[in-house]
Structure 1
Amino acid sequence: MTSNVKNPTLVTPQPARHPRPTVKAQTLAHLIFERPDLDKAEKFLVDFGLRITHRTDDCLCLRATGSAPYCYRVHRADQTRFVGLGFTVASKEDLIKVSGIPGASAIQEATLPGGGQFVSVTDPSGFTVEAIFGQTPVLPLYHRSALPVNQPSDTARVNQTQRSPAAPPEIIKLGHVVLEVADYQATSGWYTQNFGLIPSDVQVLPDGSPAVAFMRLDLGDTPADHHTLAMAQGFMAAYSHSAYEVVDADAVGIGQRVLRERGWKHAWGIGRHILGSQIFDYWQDPWGDKHEHYCDGDLFTADRPTGLHQVSAEAMSQWGERMPKSFTKPKKNLANLCALVRNLRRSPDLSLRKLITLARLFA
């Protein structure tokens, strides 16, 4: 394990890869949301760059340009809520193994785009996780190639101009989701044990206890995104944001222009992350949930060791504006206050001192 932490007092175990996981997830298949207004959800997501693949009065599915049948699912409900996520697994045998996880459903037939079979299970923080096998891939959609860039010693573009289309950027794929949880150790350990996720980098507090784990898929010698799921210590289970890959930095920039012109609320960016290295830009949907355009992320094979780093607002980006306070500020309402009090009493990972430390680090 590599470390960028100076003299940490590692009194708390760090998230680590499991030696014999139940299965090794192959891709992040989709995210699941509940919304009271599917028309509003559709308008934002199409402006963001996703494509509609299924729509009824009660369900909306959208896709990227790749071969996945859909990557974003919205169900009509009275309240807005992030429900969970789906992973693809490699075989029917893997699906059977997932069905043996305590609390998992039996194998079910999928009726949404792509079909296949799935097992549903709930993680320790209450998020639904669907393991999927046997989906029928769809034909990829066109997306433009990355623009050729002139370098001082390599002029790839002569007698040609740069003119990116002034339209929503083409989403290549769903890249990752970031969750906040009160039960940090149990939840991060559940994903490493049951789906084989590998911590790429862990950010720690001054006392050495983990604050954020960036976890990638274990694809062996095949390079995997720096993180597919990130887990952050919070005072309750909550969606932080999800990220969607575009082809280049110009697509990130055009995405900002289009979303700004169409009246959507900006959250943070443009900048480049330190851990993961992505060029990023964040936007809020009609319910305030953050969605990220990104490009140029790091890729790691399974043999890359975990890194340890001090957590701070400065550690979130190499350049660009400092992360705004509003980015991590929780909503002030009675439900969240009740969750704070309840989880301070019962969660072994949570303390008032830790929450005060986190608040000060990002103030």
Structure 2
Amino acid sequence: MTIDNAPVALRCEQPRRHPHPTVKAQAITHLIFERPDLDRAEAFLTDFGLIPVSRVADCLYFRGTGAAPYVYRVQRGSHARFVGFGLSVDSVADLERLAALPGASAIKDSPHPGGGRALSLNDPSGFLVEVLSGQSRVPELAHRSALAFNAVDALPRINSTQRPPIAPAEVIRLGHVVLELADFQATCAWYTQHFGFIPSDVQLLPDGSPAVAFMRLDLGSTPADHHTLALAQTFMAAYSHSAFEVVDADAVGMGQRVLAERGWKHAWGMGRHILGSQIFDYWQDPWGDKHEHYCDGDLFTAERPTGYHQVSPDAMAQWGQRMPKSFTKPRMNGAAFKALLVNLRRSPDVTLRKLITMARMFG
């Protein structure tokens, strides 16, 4: 086990690879949100660079320029909340193995764009996971090519200029989702055991307990994103953010310009992450939920071992603005205070000492 500048070791069972997972997820397919105002949701998401697919009754679907039929679903709800996300598997046989798990729904035809067969599960933290097999792909949409870059050692752009269009960043695809958890051990174990997620990098607190696990899909020798799912220890289950790939750093920067000019709230960026290496920029939707544009992320095959690192605010970015305290500050309301008190008594992963340590680190 390698610790980068951290005199600590992982002192918990999770996160670890599972030797014989129930199935191996192949991709993240979509996110699911409930919103009281679908028009307001559509305004933000189109400015962010997602493309409306359809509006059916009280449900909106959005896609990127890639071949996924949709990557984002917004359902009308009495209040704003993150519901869950989708994963794809290889076959109906995989769905049948998952259908044997406690709480799994029956396998049915998916009523959403792309169809296919599907079932749903709830993870130990209560997030919905929709699992799909046989979803149809759609023709990719045109997007601009990455801009040629004149570097010191390579000068491909002669007698031409850089003038990317002033427009929302073209989202190519959904890259990852990050969830906050009280029950870290049980939830992490569920994803590694039942979907084959591999911990790429783990950030540890001084006592050796995990603060964040960045987990990738097990695609064997095919390179996979550094993380498709990341899990962060806190005192209650909550959505942290989701991330969408764009073509290059100029798209990240142009996305920032357009979102700022249209009055949306900036959360953090631009910068380059340390773990995952992405160039990033984060924005808040009308309900305060963070959405990230990124490019140039790391890709790992299944053979890459897990890295372990000491967590700190300085471990979040190589350059750019230091992560603001507001980025990780929980929304404290009546429900959050209740969850704090309940989970301090109930969850083996939530302790007052751990919460005080994280509060001192991140404000």
User: What TM-score bracket applies, with the shorter chain setting the length?
Assistant: over 0.9
Assess if the C-alpha contact under 8 Å between 1:226 and 1:297 holds in 2: yes
Q: Which amino acid aligns with 1:259?
A: L
Shift of 1:186: 0.4
Shift of 1:100: 1.2
Assess if the C-alpha contact under 8 Å between 1:13 and 1:209 holds in 2: no
TM-score, scaled relative to structure 1: 0.99
Shift of 1:108: 1.1
Alignment map for 1:94-173 (pairs within 5 Å)? 94-173=94-173
Deviations 1:274-296 (A, max 9, x none): 00000000000000000000000
Partner residue in 2 for 1:4: 4
Assess if the C-alpha contact under 8 Å between 1:107 and 1:119 holds in 2: yes
Alignment map for 1:35-74 (pairs within 5 Å)? 35-74=35-74
Shift of 1:148: 0.3
Q: Distance in 2 between matches of 1:145 and 1:354?
A: 46
Q: Which amino acid aligns with 2:163?
A: R
Deviations 1:155-207 (A, max 9, x none): 11000000011001111100000000000000011000000000000000001
Shift of 1:78: 0.3
Q: Distance in 2 between matches of 1:13 and 1:210?
A: 10
Partner residue in 2 for 1:196: 196
Q: Distance in 2 between matches of 1:264 and 1:57?
A: 27
Deviations 1:251-284 (A, max 9, x none): 0000000000000000000000000000000000
2:235 is the counterpart of 1:235: yes
Partner residue in 1 for 2:294: 294
Q: Distance in 2 between matches of 1:21 and 1:225?
A: 19
Percent identity over the alignment?
69
Q: Which amino acid aligns with 1:191?
A: Y
Deviates more, 1:304-313 or 1:99-108: 99-108
Shift of 1:102: 1.2
Deviates more, 1:41-50 or 1:97-106: 97-106
Partner residue in 2 for 1:275: 275
Q: Distance in 1 between matches of 2:83 and 2:335?
A: 17
Q: Distance in 2 between matches of 1:214 and 1:223?
A: 15
Q: Distance in 2 between matches of 1:296 and 1:55?
A: 32
The DSSP-based 3-state class of the residue aligned with 1:185 is: helix
Shift of 1:12: 2.4
Q: Distance in 2 between matches of 1:83 and 1:181?
A: 14
CA RMSD across the alignment: 0.9
Assess if the C-alpha contact under 8 Å between 2:14 and 2:189 holds in 1: no
Shift of 1:340: 0.4
Shift of 1:8: 1.2
2:344 is the counterpart of 1:358: no
Q: Distance in 2 between matches of 1:135 and 1:223?
A: 22
Shift of 1:111: 1.1
Shift of 1:11: 3.1
Q: When the two structures are aligned, how many residues end up with a matched partner?
A: 363
Q: Which amino acid aligns with 1:146?
A: A
The DSSP-based 3-state class of the residue aligned with 1:244 is: strand
TM-score, scaled relative to structure 2: 0.99
Assess if the C-alpha contact under 8 Å between 1:5 and 1:308 holds in 2: no
Q: Which runs of 5+ in 1 are unaligned?
A: none
Q: Which amino acid aligns with 2:209?
A: S
Q: Which amino acid aligns with 1:176?
A: H
Partner residue in 1 for 2:258: 258
Partner residue in 2 for 1:34: 34
Partner residue in 1 for 2:244: 244
Partner residue in 2 for 1:178: 178
Assess if the C-alpha contact under 8 Å between 2:3 and 2:310 holds in 1: no
Shift of 1:134: 1.0
Q: Which runs of 5+ in 2 are unaligned?
A: none
